[in-house]
A and B are shown apart, each in its own frame.
Chain A
Amino acid sequence: MAENENFRNDFPLLRQEMNGRSIVYLDNGATTQKPESMIRAMCGYYGGCNANPHRGAYALSVEATGIYETARERVRRFIGAKEAREIIFTKNATEALNLVAYSYGLTNIGPGDEIVLTVAEHHSNLVPWQRVAKARGATLNYIYLEPDGNLSEADIAAKITNKTKLVAVAHVSNVLGLVNPVRRIADRAHEAGAVVVVDGSQSVPHLAADVEALGADFFAFSGHKLLAPMGIGVLYGRAALLEAMPPFLSGGDMIEYVEEQESTYAGLPAKFEAGTQNVGGAAGLTAAIDYLEALTFAKIQKIEGDLLAYALPRLRALPWISLYGCDSGRDNKTGIITFNVKGVHPHDVATILDSEGVAIRAGHHCAQPLMKYLGQAATCRASFYFYNTRTDVDRWLDALEKVREVMRVGH
């Protein structure tokens, strides 16, 4: 893998050390590292053209507006939306999903209605729906899993009924790393007259996601999981749905006329972007998308597929490792490997790996219902990105041996 070794040069952080060792960063599902070009774009914005967009008539404000709206158009093309006004900038995927819950959910879901989720949802696409269900007297129904971790086909068929008003599903599970059959779920939901909310946080960084092809009515993702800075996220929504929805946050920039007792609201997308927006983050997001598109998703998938093919057989050969979601027969596995070292708690695994310069995630991965369903209090998760190498996998697996040595398990 000499080729992707070179990507590391684009990432200043990956050239540093952690605990005296070069960093093996395998927590890309949590957030990715940032390329120099993205960091330069952020600095360029703040150092060269910072001003409040959509307000001042002076050149800097016009330039800031241009940068912000360029990012919107860039995102539109990136995820295959029809119109730029269908792209709403948020803080992150969580805020985007909350926007849908509070604005669409509270307005359109009522007593006796049903919301269908999968048991593998991240809390960000689960807790908001619990709150909507509680507030409106609706019921939450879950799609459970097949033994291999894929969504139960029987549940997809049975749980989405004519009482279902909304289906919330992750494009890729952040724990199991499996691509869900979103199109099929969307078709089923649309037949039943429900809308589909897709959490794209774990898919958009790794594969070409197209909201039209997926049949998504709403689609959310965070910039920071795809090379962009923290604090910028995206909500895509079908224009007809967004137009009919009430505002989520209100205040400056989202209005037309404000009287003492009444206001009228701006059109899309401004109606959902109250207050000064994260233009620096949007500039970073544009640079991040530029980087990914120059690289191409074909190459990203080839690299991540190679890392999976290199790591999984070696992990399977270790009788003291348990794997979760790693045996899908559907060719839909992304670069997320969730595992446990038998006899050692995940947090101890992560701490000892850290001492070897290897960063992984341990815990419930913001998916407590899934952990309960899997019968695990917690698990470890290693998640790849294109700048990871086979050497990283070697270092990780060597460090797992060290875990057993330190914890005096099997030694």
Chain B
Amino acid sequence: MDIESIYTELIAEESRSTEHRRHLEAPTAALKGRNPSCGDEITLELSVRDGIVEDAAFTGVGCAISQASTSLMIGLVKGQTTGKAKKLAETFLAMLKSEIPAGDPALDELGDAAALQGVARLPARVKCAALSWHTLAEALEKEV
């Protein structure tokens, strides 16, 4: 296994990024995502107005994969319509299930988050990468 292709510099740096790690002043949705078996725990806050994810942020603890995945996700969905954000979550989760081949243009939509594609080869860690995206999908369901 080429571990460096999974823990890329981008993932390592992003896992420590504080850019999106904060509380929103007036979130319209706040949802907790947990992986009890490994202790990953994030709280995702969204500020949705007129069908647009105007702002998003998170707090929590977890492994580098869960933290990087959350941070990249927020960077990606901020400013998007809720419909687009849902679609992105579907694409990301499909990528983790190896349902999208490498090089597929659908992955371009994910931007830097596509760097987590290698996690699909680590069955024990897929849930770490998926946590925040499931939480996002759930939060958006409640928004509608």
Interface residues of A (CB under 8 A from B): 19-20, 344-348, 351-352, 354-355, 362-364, 371, 377-378, 406-408
Contacts and interface: CB of A to CB of B under 8 A. Distances in A.
A346 B62 CA distance: 9
A406 B7 contact: yes
A377 B39 contact: yes
B12 A351 contact: no
Given A348-B64, A362-B38, A408-B13, 10 more contacts: A19-B1, A344-B64, A348-B63, A348-B65, A351-B122, A355-B2, A355-B3, A377-B39, A406-B3, A408-B9
Contacts of B38: 347, 362-363, 378
A33 B13 CA distance: 38
B4 A351 contact: no
A363 B1 contact: no
A44 to B, nearest CB: 35
Contacts of B124: 351
Contacts of B12: 406-408
A362 to B, nearest CB: 8
B61 A377 contact: yes
B62 A345 contact: yes
Contact of A347 (B2, B13, B128): B128
A204 to B, nearest CB: 26
Contact of A407 (B39, B64, B125): B64
A206 B63 CA distance: 32
B39 A363 contact: yes
Interface of B: 1-4, 6-7, 9, 12-13, 37-39, 41, 61-65, 122, 124-125, 128
A36 B128 CA distance: 37
A20 B1 CA distance: 8
Contacts of B6: 351
A351 B3 contact: yes
Contacts of A344: 64
Contacts of A351: 3, 6, 122, 124-125
B1 A355 contact: yes
A378 to B, nearest CB: 5
Of the candidates A19, A20, A345, the one having the most CB atoms from chain B within 10 angstroms of its own CB is: A345
B21 to A, nearest CB: 15
A206 B2 CA distance: 36
A275 B92 CA distance: 48
A352 B7 contact: yes
Contacts of B13: 408
A199 B66 CA distance: 35
A407 B4 CA distance: 9
A78 B12 CA distance: 50
Contact of B39 (A348, A354, A355, A364): A364
Contacts of A355: 1-3
Nearest to A405: B4
Given A348-B7, A351-B122, A352-B3, A378 B64 contact: no
A407 B7 contact: yes
A380 B21 CA distance: 26
B37 A406 contact: no
A352 B4 CA distance: 9
9 contacts: A347-B125, A347-B128, A348-B7, A354-B1, A363-B39, A377-B39, A377-B61, A407-B7, A408-B12
A352 B124 CA distance: 12
Contacts of B3: 351-352, 355, 406
A347 B68 CA distance: 14
A76 to B, nearest CB: 37
Contacts of A377: 39, 41, 61
A101 to B, nearest CB: 22
